[in-house]
Amino acid sequence: MESIRIHIPHELFAPAESSHFEGTIEVPALKAGPDLYSFARPLAWQVDVTNTGDALLVTGTVEGDAATSCARCLEDVKLSLTGEIEGYFLLGGEDAEAPEDMDEDEFEVLPEDNAVDLTALVQAALLLEVPLIPLCDDDCKGLCPTCGANLNEGACACGEPAEDPDFELARNPFAALKDLRFDE
């Protein structure tokens, strides 16, 4: 992912001042767990930077279209993502005191060159928006565990042998518990 650096203008160091910034970023791919998301076009981002007195608050959005594979059938899935960007940069250099109600991972110190790097904030915003398990459809039937056929396109050639416990166990690992009795 390319870097997004915003140089903070001098007028933003006055309390209650605010400025708007926007642009695009090229994100060739984003890895989220076992899934890889690709973006055909640059993502649009926009942020407002506000001086809160002791810090710069960065809020905004990043938007774009992502493509990945369905976790069940491996077909292409297209998603429209809109992530919320939020960051907190303390003023005052390395001697700046963090607010008592914030942990160390909730803020950064504004660097001496007065340039804010938004790259990590954009990446975090996108990662929060991608689904935990990307699916082409909520009712996706997936692939046949025996022959690998896409069951969304119809029944496979190997069929579903009703009396074959290995087939049922491969399709549903909890099928081994079907005869378990709790009566005792």
pLDDT, average across residues 161-174: 64
- Which structural domain, as residue segments, surrounds residue 94? 5-129
**80 in the same domain as 153:** no
**104 in the same domain as 70:** yes
Confidence of residue 165 (pLDDT cuts 50, 70, 90): low
Give the phi and the psi of residue 131 in degrees, each rounded to 5. Answer: -70, 150
CA separation, residue 117 to residues 7, 18, 139 (Å): 9, 17, 41
**150 in the same domain as 83:** no
Confidence of residue 163 (pLDDT cuts 50, 70, 90): low
Condensed to tens digits (0 to 9), the pLDDT of residues 109-149 reads: 777 888 888 999 999 999 999 999 999 999 999 998 888 89
pLDDT of 169 higher than 80: no
Last residue of a domain, one of 129, 150, 166: 129
pLDDT, average across residues 145-170: 74
Confidence of residue 98 (pLDDT cuts 50, 70, 90): low
Instruction: Put residue 150 in one of left, alpha, beta given phi > 0 → left and psi -120 to 50 → alpha.
Output: beta
Q: How far apart are CA 92 and CA 98, in angstroms?
A: 10
pLDDT of 161 higher than 60: no
Whole-number pLDDT of residue 72: 92
Condensed to tens digits (0 to 9), the pLDDT of residues 13-39 reads: 888 899 999 999 999 899 999 999 999
Whole-number pLDDT of residue 157: 80
**97 in the same domain as 23:** yes
- Confirm whether 134 is domain-assigned: no
Q: What is the 3-state secondary structure (H, E, C) of the chain?
A: CCCCEEECCHHHHCCCCEEEEEEEECCCEEEECCEEEECCCCEEEEEEEEECCCEEEEEEEEEEEEEEECCCCCCEEEEEEEEEEEEEEECCHHHCCCCCCCCHHHCEECCCCCEEECHHHHHHHHHHHCCCCCCCCCCCCCECCCCCCEHHHCCCCCCCCCCCHHHHHHHCHHHHHCCCCCCC
Whole-number pLDDT of residue 20: 95
- Confirm whether 135 is domain-assigned: no
